[in-house]
Amino acid sequence: MDNQEQMDYKKLYEAEREKTEVLVSKIEESEKEIEELNFKLDRIKGSFAWKLAIPLRKGLHFYEKTRDRLTRYGSIPGIMRKVRSKLQERKNMKRHGTASFPGPEEAKAQRETVFPNMVKFSILTPLYNTPEKFLTELLDCVQAQTYQNWELCLADGSDSEHAYVGEICRRYAESDARIKYQVLEHNEGISGNTNECLKMATGDYIALLDHDDILHPAVLYEYAKVINEKGADYIYCDEITFEGDSIDHMIVLHFKPDFAVDNLRGNNYICHFSAFSKHLLDETGVFRSQYDGSQDHDMILRLTAKAKLVYHVPKALYYWRSHKASVAQDINAKTYAVDAAKRAVHDHIKDVYGMDVKVESTRAFPTIFRIRYPLLERPLISIVIPNKDHMEDLSRCVESIVNKSTYENYEIVIVENNSETKEIFDYYKALEHNPKIRIVKYEGEFNYAKINNFGVSFTNGKYVLLLNNDMKVITRDWIEELLMYAQRPDVAAVGGKLYYADNTIQHAGIVIGLGAHRAAGHTHYKDDKMHLGYMGRLCYAQDVTAVTGACLLVSRAQYDEVGGLDEEFRVAFNDVDFCLKLRHAGYLNVFTPFAELYHYESKTRGMEEGEKQKRFQQEVDLFRKKWKADLDAGDPYFNPNFSLDYSDYTIK
C-alpha cells in the first residue's frame, strides 16, 4: 500500500469514526429523553386526576372502538352483519363442548372397534397439590375414554398438607388396574415428575395430560384411528379453554393449523393434547429440567423435528382449565415459563440450522415470539418492479426503497410496459444517475406474469424480490426481515405485512379456497393495523400456503426451479400458483409481520366488470382446475372448522 492509499484509508477511517461518534451521541440523547418521558408518564399515571378519569377514558375507548368498527365494516348494516356472524359463531361454539360427546350408540361402537394395531397409550400426569375436584374430574375423564387400551401414570409430588391426593388416587387405582400411582420422595419439578411418570409407562404411545385439565371421551379413539390409517408417530388436536364448573363455559376455542414448524417456533400452538410414539421419545430423550415451565414446548420441538409424520386431528378434543394458578389464565402465574420457552426455541434453532437467533416476546403475549435470525451473508437482491405510467406511485415506491432501506446490496429493475405519459419518461431519465436502478422495456400486451418473468431475466442477484409499483416501505430493515427467512434452505417465498393507506391490512398471508370464488383469499383482510390477529397470528412469522406477489422474496435458483410465474395466469392467481409450485417442490412459504409496507391498491374498487370480469372468471376456473386436489384437501394452515366465507377466522 503506497502513501496515497494510506492517506485515503485514514481519511475514510476518520470520516466513519466521526459518523459513529455523532450516532452514539444521538443515541445517548434519545435514551435520556426516553428516560425523562417515562418518568413524567409514571407521575401522570400515579396522579389522582388520572385515576379519577378512568370512567371517562373507558367511555372514550368504547367510542373509538365503535368508530373504528363503523369504518372497518362500512356502515351500520355492515356492523349488524358482523354482529349476526358473531352470534351465529357463539351458537356454533356450543357444538364443540359436551354436545360433541358421543352418544350411547356411538360410544358403544367406538368401544367395540378393533383396529389392526390396538396401540396402548400411556398417559403421563404429574400431580402436585391438585385440588380434589380437578383430580376426580381428571380421573373420570380418562376412565370415560371410548378407546380402552390405556394406562394412566400418576407421579405425586404433593406435600403432606395435600394427603387427600394420594387417598383419591389409591381408591381409583384399586378399582382400575390401568391406573398406576406412585408417591415421590421429593418434588422434582414438572420435568422430573413427568420423567417419573414415564418410568411407569409400558405403552406404545406416550400422551401428556395436565393435572387440572379434561379430555374429550373420544380423543384416544381418534388418535388410535389416525395411527392405524396414517401411520402418524406424533398426533395433536384442537383445544378449548374453559372456566368454572363446565367445559361448556368456553373462553377460547383454539382451532390450529396442520403442522407448521415456524408457527411452532413463534408460538407453542400445538400445546395440548400431544401423543407420540415411544420409539420417538427413545430417540429424542426425556423431559429436560432446564426448560421447566415450557418443558412441553422444548419436547414438542424436539419430537416433531424427528417425527416421520406429525398429524393434526382438527377437532376440539382437549379442555384446558383456566383458574387463578394456571398459565391458561395468566402467564405471570409462571413467569419462569417465558424464559424457558425462549431458551427452548433458541436451542432448537441452533440444533437445526446452527444459527444463533434472538428470541423476543411480542406485544401479543409473552410466549408469542419474534425470532431474529442472523444474516449469513448479504447477497445482491434484485427488486423487480413492473410499471406503466403511474409516475407518482413509482416515484414514491423507489424513493422509499432508496431512502429508507438499511440493506444496501440491492439493484432495482423497472420493467417499463407501454407507458404513454411524458412525465414517466422524464422520471426514468432522472433515475439514470442511480447506478442501482435499470429500466428494461417490455413491449407486449399486459400480462403480469410474463412481465415479471421478463424482468427477472435481466437480474443479477442471488435473490429476486417481486414488488408492485404502488408500494411504500415502512420498516427500514424490511429486506433483512424477508431475507432472514429466505436464506434458510427449507424456505422459498417470503412475504411481508401490507397495509392500505388507511392503516388496515391488505395482506397477511393467503389461504387457498378462501372467498366467494373458493380460489384464494387474504386472511385478516381489512383488520386494523394494530390487530393482534387470531390467536396472535399477526405478531409472529409463520408458514403459509402463499404470499402475494406484490411483495415476494425468493431465491433466483428456486424461481427458475419451478419455472417462474405461470403466464397462463395473466393477471390473477399467478403468485398463488407460483407459491403452490414451490410447496410441491418441498419448500415452505413464510409470512412475516415484521416487514411492513403500504400497498396503495384501492380496497374499494370492487369486482371487475365486463371483459375484465370474464377474464377473472377464466383464471378462477383455471386455478381451480389446476389445483383441484389441493383445494379439495383444504389449506393446511387454515383449520376446516373456520368458514371460507370470511377472512377473520369465523367458526363455521
Mean pLDDT of 52-66: 81
Split at pLDDT 50, 70, 90, the class of 490 is very high
Q: What is the pLDDT of residue 520?
A: 98
Residue among 158, 156, 368, 189 nearest 293 (CA): 189
Give the pLDDT confidence of 120-136 residue by residue, as tens digits: 999 999 999 999 999 99
- Do the bridges between strand 491-499 and strand 551-555 make them parallel or antiparallel, or are there none, so unpaired? antiparallel
- Whether the predicted pLDDT of 22 surpasses 80: no
Mean pLDDT of 22-51: 79
- The radius of gyration of the chain from alpha carbons, rounded to an integer in Å, stands at 28
Q: What is the pLDDT of residue 42?
A: 80
Split at pLDDT 50, 70, 90, the class of 412 is very high
Q: How many CB atoms lie within 10 A of CB 603?
A: 15
Split at pLDDT 50, 70, 90, the class of 606 is very low
> C-alpha angle 394/396/402, rounded to 5°?
100
- Whether the predicted pLDDT of 294 surpasses 70: yes
Q: What is the pLDDT of residue 374?
A: 98
Q: What is the pLDDT of residue 605?
A: 44
Give the pLDDT confidence of 314-323 residue by residue, as tens digits: 999 999 999 7
Residue that the C-alpha cell 432508496 belongs to: 402
- 331 vs 44, higher pLDDT: 44
User: Which pTM was predicted?
Assistant: 0.88
Q: What is the pLDDT of residue 601?
A: 83
Task: Return the sign of the alpha-carbon dihedral for residues 400, 510, 465, 617.
Answer: negative
Q: What is the pLDDT of residue 43?
A: 82
Amino acid at 302: R
Mean pLDDT of 510-539: 96
- Whether the predicted pLDDT of 544 surpasses 60: yes
Give the pLDDT confidence of 358-407 residue by residue, as tens digits: 999 999 999 999 999 999 999 999 999 999 999 999 999 999 999 999 99
Q: 115-119, 488-492, 511-515, 611-615: which range is least confident on average?
A: 611-615
Give the pLDDT confidence of 231-280 residue by residue, as tens digits: 999 999 999 999 999 999 999 999 999 999 999 999 999 999 999 999 99
First to last CA, the chain: 73
Residue among 380, 381, 457, 379 nearest 415 (CA): 457
> What's the chain's average pLDDT?
92
Mean pLDDT of 320-333: 64
SS3 31: helix
What are the C-alpha distances in Å from 130 to residues 157, 330, 553?
10, 18, 51
Percent of the chain with pLDDT over 70: 93
Cell of 342: 425462549
Contact between 169 and 127 (Cβ < 8 Å): yes
Amino acid at 82: K
- Residue 7 burial by Cβ neighbours in a 10 Å radius (0-12, 13-18, 19+): exposed
- Whether the predicted pLDDT of 494 surpasses 90: yes
- Whether the predicted pLDDT of 36 surpasses 50: yes
Residue among 401, 386, 528 nearest 472 (CA): 401
Percent of the chain with pLDDT over 90: 79
Residue that the C-alpha cell 396503495 belongs to: 600
Task: Return the sign of the alpha-carbon dihedral for residues 190, 195, 196, 200.
Answer: positive
Split at pLDDT 50, 70, 90, the class of 31 is confident
- Concatenate the DSSP letters of all residues of 393-427 into one string: HHHHHHHHHHHH-S---EEEEEEEES---HHHHHH
Give the pLDDT confidence of 341-358 residue by residue, as tens digits: 999 999 999 999 999 999
Q: What is the pLDDT of residue 190?
A: 87
- 168 vs 75, higher pLDDT: 168
Split at pLDDT 50, 70, 90, the class of 611 is confident
Give the pLDDT confidence of 154-174 residue by residue, as tens digits: 999 999 999 999 999 999 999
